[in-house]
Amino acid sequence: MAKPSTWIPHVETFVDASRPSNQQAASLEAIAALVKKDLLTMEAVVREMEMYLTTTDHALRARGILLLAELLTRLVSKPLDSATIHSLTGFFTSRLADWQALHGALVGCLALLRRSTNVGMVTVTDARMLMKSYLENLQVQSLALHDRKMCFELLECLLEHYADAVAPLGDDLVYGICEAIDEEKDPQCLLLTFHIVGVLVRVFHDPLGSISSFAGDLFDILSRYFPIYFTHPKNDDIDVKKDDLSRALMHAFASTPLFEPFVIPLLLDKLSSSLLSAKLDSLKYLSYCTLHYGADRIAKHAKAIWSSLKEAICTFSPQDTSFLLAFESPEDMRSQENEVAAEALVCLERILVQLDSSSGYSFINFIVEDEDIEMIFRSVTGVLGYKDLTAEGKQKLHALGNILFVSARVSSSSCNKVFQRFFTRLIEILGISSRNFSVDSILNDSYVFPEGLNFGALYLCINLLVACRDLTVGFKETKPYYPQVEDFWCCLLQNFSGPLADFLGSTLIACGSHDTEKDYFYSGVKGLQTLATFPGSSMPISKAICEKVLTMFVSIITGRCEEELLWKLALKALIQIGTFIESSYDTEKRTSYMNIIVGETFSLLSLDDSGMPLPLKLEALNGIGSTGLDYMMRLIQGLEEAISANFVKASVEGNVKSVEILIYLLKFYSGQVLPWLKKTVGFEEVALRFAVNIWDQLESSKALNIGIQGQGLLDAIMTAMRLAVGDCTEESQALIVQKAYCVLSSMTFFPLKESVPLAPIKLENLKLIQNIVSLSSRDEWLISLFSSVLTALHPPTPIPEVREILKLLTIFVLKGYVPAAQALGSIINKCPLKINTIETSSVCTLEEALDIIQKTGLYSVLSKDPLSNGTDGSSQNLSNLFCVTSSKSLFQIHAIVGLAWIGKGLVMRGHEKVTEIAMLILKCLLSSSSKEIMPLQQNALENGNGPDIDPSVVRSAADAFHILLSDSEVCLNKKFHAAIRPLYKQHFFSSMIPILLSSIKDTESSVARASLYQAFGHLISDAPLAAIVTEAKKLLPPLMNAISILSLDNLNKDLTYSLLLVLSGILMDENGKEAVTENAHSIITNLLTLTSYPLMMVVRETAIQCLVAMTGLPYTRIYPMRTQVLQAMTKALDDRKRSVRQEAIRCRQAWASIASRSLHF
């Protein structure tokens, strides 16, 4: 037990109102902790605090009670014995009468009531006493906001958890609650009050009890808030929204059927108000209440409700929108005004469901027997064409269509009624029964489009069709309905579906391509689509009709691609039908879909000379294929055939057109088919087959004869190959690699077997070089494709003869094949540090791999004196020969690119060998200085194979840093399974920067320094900003130098821009502020030069934006620069680009206003 002396000071702190609030809170926590650890009992606390709890000083007593209450709040989960709870409850209950210290009492009561059973609850009698005391003592509406909220919470808690305790209080309780919630205005409290009403009604569920007598009064209080009009500014800390309030009130309204006599008249009354939101709310409430009041009560108001709804639907249906929208989805037309109509339709549907014939009422009779409806029907079907309809007529048509749609789809019986009344008449008006349509006859004869095709009737008819479909399929939460033979609508549909399909088809065919008739297109396509998506194959729509519809669509797809709108609509319909069939597991339909659609359309692919452009074909195929796996497999099969056929044509005959097609097909394959498969199933098999097929093709074609477009084709194949291989499992990858290797070994030039660099015979090597210099295009393809396979492998996938391949790749790197360099980088990135298996031909360690690459001569091309390397066994290595046979600098550039990719592989796995490569590249950068300093020696050296570094080599050495740190799309990323160490960029960046900076410092030649700065620029612009900001102090001066030097060279404009972005990043960062302040002068000077940077507009713009940001620095640092900046801005105001001028205005103002006056007008 803690001694009183240890915790009493805490009590004193808390009670003393003059202490700062954080101290008070701390002492409260301290006491609570003591009680939680059982070092102190509640009893002891109360006993010691007696003086504070009973003193006559109101302030002190209030604090004392509050302390006890807050303590209880913190001990909600701490078990307490019943005696303690009883006495505490008694205490707080009595304190409710003490208005000076009410706050504490409320907090305490709430804390006690919120306890759960396992830690000791307030007993029923205590709760009842509490409620009584509450009713007697509290005048809720006279309290302040916070206390009022607490009162409501207390009430809510009592009603919810102690219903048994408070229920016997009966009328007193209801009356008390009425009094408490009356006239409440605060949104948060209102949420509570609405909830309280709902709970209260639940407590007194007996309909004859006290609640029924008070229902009127209660509703009187609630009704004043309807409709909720709440325009509180958003920036307040109260996070109550209008919707929350509205929903809470709705729940309160619907809480008991007893409210019905009051609610429905009120809602109907508000529905006729001119305020849109009031209408919307009324409709929402109406549909919600309909659900909760039950059919009997709603039926009383049925007639009034129908006439209100009718009016709402008719006046607020969309007036001007084309029927396009209406056909997209009849249920959701979400524009501001149309929402009323939509909501009214939802409400109508709810009521129709409630007052169905099964419940003894038939709301549907109101609709079918309504005279207004009849009148609208006559007027809209009385007009002929769509263009003859007035705006008002369209609106009416729309409203009627929706009403019929909703009423027909709720149940079979109401569907019957609607069909009896309207459908036969529609059919007659359209003239379907009398004329005998057949698509074939229309196609053959010159069938004239009926001028007088009644659009209104067509639209209504299709709406009814859709409704029937929904009824049989089931919509939203309703169950599908299985049509019976005795259903009237079912018989009608069965009889007329054939002629109807013919009729709709003829509309489409006859419509032609007039723009004015696009609404007929929408109607026709929608109607046909609906006919094809009825479930089952006999009732009410037979399989034959479904097939007929499919045939019609196919003929549109294949034959009418020049009519864009119709074609798109037909395709969309086909896709939807396909999706429907897939999801309904209807085997019969699936077969017919497969036969008709898939069979027909996929034959398109093999036909070259159909009038349809390839992209359209592919779009159609992809759309249909993506509806189901079976279809996609068929599509892939067709695609593969097409690819191989075209490949043969392209490679053997050099057919330019085939190359184009092939590129298209491959892009489609890698862009659409593979991602789709990855999302579903069957990727593995398809990808494997694809890759192997490509290799087969290459193997069989002995000579490639592809012209200028070869490169584009090669890129497309490589991309597809990478994607296909990348997502395969290791086993399949191994198969593909094996296959590729086999094909590769058939290359005309294949040096692997000779193990070239290890047997240094000069003559042979020379031959080799000559071979490599004149490489056939097939070999180029092979090596590029092989590289792309290698880049996409999983790390453990074995590569056959890996050492030989490494050598081969290295040779090709020197020849300038970037894919080979990327493949090398990938292998280096993925190969293991140690080998566990005995079988080693397909695996090699990282050490070994690097060693092989080095021996093959990649490094030595760059070293200053290649001959010195050759003192050991492999003296004459390849690189020397390169130097002899061809331009040396070209090889050096290739070598640098190769090294950069290898280095990237190393950096990403975080291997320390990367420094070796980086130093080698750095050496190239530095060597440019020697040329300048010692021209004489240089000449001398040149004769003797000395360092002869071309400027372009230096440049590519600087760019190598870009390769090292930037992210690549093509390889070495997550998609292609690269080993990526976290924070590898930061690591490399922080290890390289000191070296670079010190060499910049040591270099005297300006050329070398420029290239060093270029490397520095790449490094800094590719490194993550966070790493730079932490080093900002050190990096800013060189960064500024880099910008000023790089901005002089035209070739470096992109780099200049990215450096400027880095600078702006530092400027905007809080942590960079200090460093920026120190360098303010040089930064501003630099930025001022950049404001007139002629090469890139964005550079000027960003520089000016940076200048604006600089005004946030301390006044004394920037004031001296003000005049210069203002002068520069005066010039920038006359910039040739508008966005620069706009920034200049802002910047000028910002700088002018740091000191008042003298703007130099």
Partner 1 sequence: MVSGLINANPTVYERKERRVRSAPADADEYAVEHIDAQEIFDILCCGSRIPYVFIICFLSMTWVLKTTVHAFLSVISITISNHVRDIKDPEHPYSLEELKVVTEDAIDVDDEQSHVRVTFTPTVEHCSMATVIGLCIRVKLMRSLPSRYKVDIRLAPGSHATEAAVNKQLNDKERIAAALENPNLLDMVDDCLAPTFA
- Choice from 23, 213, 868, 1153 touching partner 1 (CB under 8 A): 1153
Between residues 933 and 1145, which has the closer beta carbon with respect to partner 1?
Answer: 1145
Q: What is the CA 584 to chain-centroid distance, rounded?
A: 29
With residue 270 as reference, give the H or E element that holds it.
helix 260-271
Rounded least distance, CB 1133 to partner 1, Å: 5
Measured CA to CA, the distance from residue 945 to residue 940 in angstroms comes to 9
585 lies in the site for partner 1, by CB under 8 A: no
840 lies in the site for partner 1, by CB under 8 A: no
231 lies in the site for partner 1, by CB under 8 A: no
Calculate the CA dihedral of residues 745, 750, 752, 756 and round it to 10 degrees: 180
Between residues 761 and 1145, which has the closer beta carbon with respect to partner 1?
Answer: 1145
1150 lies in the site for partner 1, by CB under 8 A: yes
Measured CA to CA, the distance from residue 726 to residue 621 in angstroms comes to 25
- 8 Å CB contact between 744 and 786: yes
For the chain, the C-alpha Rg in angstroms (whole number) is: 42
1126 lies in the site for partner 1, by CB under 8 A: no
CB atoms within 10 A of CB 943: 8
Measured CA to CA, the distance from residue 1153 to residue 1161 in angstroms comes to 14
- Sign, CA dihedral 122-124-126-129, equals positive
Measured CA to CA, the distance from residue 967 to residue 964 in angstroms comes to 9
Write the interaction track for partner 1 spanning residues 879-898; mark x where CB under 8 A is met and - where it is not: --------------------
Rounded least distance, CB 964 to partner 1, Å: 29
Binding segment for partner 1 among 621-629, 788-796, 1015-1023, 1128-1136 (CB under 8 A)? 1128-1136
Between residues 212 and 1153, which has the closer beta carbon with respect to partner 1?
Answer: 1153
Give 597's DSSP letter. Answer: I
1157 lies in the site for partner 1, by CB under 8 A: yes
Residues 518-537 that bind partner 1 (CB under 8 A): none
1138 lies in the site for partner 1, by CB under 8 A: yes
Q: What are the angstrom distances between the C-alpha of 937 and each of 436, 884, 942, 952?
A: 102, 22, 8, 21
Measured CA to CA, the distance from residue 383 to residue 864 in angstroms comes to 93
1133 lies in the site for partner 1, by CB under 8 A: yes
Rounded least distance, CB 1122 to partner 1, Å: 15
Between residues 76 and 1159, which has the closer beta carbon with respect to partner 1?
Answer: 1159
With residue 490 as reference, give the H or E element that holds it.
helix 488-511
Tokens of 652: 């053997």
CB atoms within 10 A of CB 908: 24
Measured CA to CA, the distance from residue 541 to residue 406 in angstroms comes to 21
Rounded least distance, CB 1042 to partner 1, Å: 23
Between residues 836 and 1050, which has the closer beta carbon with respect to partner 1?
Answer: 1050
1148 lies in the site for partner 1, by CB under 8 A: yes
Binding segment for partner 1 among 210-218, 494-502, 1074-1082, 1153-1161 (CB under 8 A)? 1153-1161
Binding segment for partner 1 among 88-96, 449-457, 838-846, 1135-1143 (CB under 8 A)? 1135-1143
Q: Comparing C-alpha atoms, which of 990, 1001, 1090, 1089 is closest to residue 1037? A: 1001
Between residues 779 and 1135, which has the closer beta carbon with respect to partner 1?
Answer: 1135
- 8 Å CB contact between 901 and 821: yes
Measured CA to CA, the distance from residue 590 to residue 631 in angstroms comes to 10
Between residues 585 and 1161, which has the closer beta carbon with respect to partner 1?
Answer: 1161
- 8 Å CB contact between 1025 and 1059: no
Tokens of 538: 């006999």
Residues 106-125 that bind partner 1 (CB under 8 A): none
Q: Comparing C-alpha atoms, which of 138, 150, 61 is closest to residue 100? A: 61
Rounded least distance, CB 578 to partner 1, Å: 36
Binding segment for partner 1 among 4-12, 534-542, 924-932, 1146-1154 (CB under 8 A)? 1146-1154
Write the interaction track for partner 1 spanning residues 1092-1121; mark x where CB under 8 A is met and - where it is not: ---xxx------------------------
Between residues 443 and 1145, which has the closer beta carbon with respect to partner 1?
Answer: 1145
Show Cβ contacts of residue 503 under 8 Å, excluding neighbours closer than 6 positions: 430, 432, 437
Tokens of 930: 């020697």
Q: Comparing C-alpha atoms, which of 677, 784, 764 is closest to residue 722? A: 784
CB atoms within 10 A of CB 581: 26
Rounded least distance, CB 1161 to partner 1, Å: 6
Size of the site for partner 1 (CB under 8 A): 20
Binding segment for partner 1 among 650-658, 776-784, 844-852, 1151-1159 (CB under 8 A)? 1151-1159
- Choice from 388, 1137, 1154, 1155 touching partner 1 (CB under 8 A): 1137
923 lies in the site for partner 1, by CB under 8 A: no
980 lies in the site for partner 1, by CB under 8 A: no
- Choice from 1149, 1151, 1154, 1155 touching partner 1 (CB under 8 A): 1149
Phi, psi of 541 (to 5 degrees): -110, 130
Between residues 247 and 1146, which has the closer beta carbon with respect to partner 1?
Answer: 1146
What does the chain come to in residues?
A: 1161
Write the interaction track for partner 1 spanning residues 376-405; mark x where CB under 8 A is met and - where it is not: ------------------------------
DSSP letters along 295-312, please? HHHHHTTHHHHHHHHHHH
Binding segment for partner 1 among 22-30, 349-357, 834-842, 1131-1139 (CB under 8 A)? 1131-1139
Rounded least distance, CB 1154 to partner 1, Å: 13
Rounded least distance, CB 1050 to partner 1, Å: 12
Residue 120, phi-psi category: left (phi > 0), alpha (psi -120 to 50), beta (remainder): left
- Sign, CA dihedral 498-504-507-508, equals negative
Rounded least distance, CB 1047 to partner 1, Å: 15
Measured CA to CA, the distance from residue 794 to residue 507 in angstroms comes to 57
Between residues 667 and 1146, which has the closer beta carbon with respect to partner 1?
Answer: 1146
CB atoms within 10 A of CB 136: 11
1134 lies in the site for partner 1, by CB under 8 A: yes
Please tell me the number of Cα atoms within 13 Å of 976 on its side-chain side. 29
Between residues 421 and 1141, which has the closer beta carbon with respect to partner 1?
Answer: 1141
Rounded least distance, CB 251 to partner 1, Å: 33
SS3 1046: helix
Measured CA to CA, the distance from residue 768 to residue 878 in angstroms comes to 9
> What is the residue type of 570?
A
445 lies in the site for partner 1, by CB under 8 A: no
- Choice from 1141, 1143, 1151, 1154 touching partner 1 (CB under 8 A): 1141
Binding segment for partner 1 among 286-294, 420-428, 565-573, 1141-1149 (CB under 8 A)? 1141-1149
Residues 1057-1096 that bind partner 1 (CB under 8 A): 1095-1096
- Choice from 74, 132, 987, 1146 touching partner 1 (CB under 8 A): 1146
Between residues 890 and 1133, which has the closer beta carbon with respect to partner 1?
Answer: 1133
CB atoms within 10 A of CB 594: 16
212 lies in the site for partner 1, by CB under 8 A: no
Rounded least distance, CB 1092 to partner 1, Å: 14
1145 lies in the site for partner 1, by CB under 8 A: yes
Q: Would you tell me which residues interact with partner 1 (CB under 8 A)?
A: 1095-1097, 1130, 1133-1134, 1136-1138, 1141, 1145-1146, 1148-1150, 1152-1153, 1157, 1159, 1161
